[in-house]
Amino acid sequence: MGILKHANDHMHYMGEMMRRTDTDPSKASGPAGEVFLRGSIVRCLFCKHGEECREWLEEGNTHCDAPAFCRNAGHFENFRDNR
């Protein structure tokens, strides 16, 4: 897999995971928001569970916690809309 396709796929997965888990990055403003997004991107890009993530997203899960295999699961928890 080419690096650009990998990056594109994982950024799509991350955006969808944030939407489906009601993660709101706007809750972190200023430097905290930048750190949140930068950390989320790095964790996602280096994640080895892309296939599992794609399958989880295809199942249509919404308004729930991120799955255990997601490297951002705990990170997203701090920025949930419904918390």
pLDDT digits (tens, 9 = 90+) for 54-71: 999 999 999 999 999 999
Which residue's entry shows tokens 């990056």?
A: 7
d(CA 79, CA 83): 8
d(CA 27, CA 31): 12
Q: What residue type is assigned to position 53 of the chain?
A: C
d(CA 29, CA 43): 20
pLDDT digits (tens, 9 = 90+) for 6-58: 999 999 999 999 999 999 878 777 787 888 889 999 999 999 999 999 999 99
Task: Give the model's pLDDT for residue 49.
Answer: 96
**pTM for this entry:** 0.86
d(CA 83, CA 71): 20
Which residue's entry shows tokens 């990998």?
A: 6
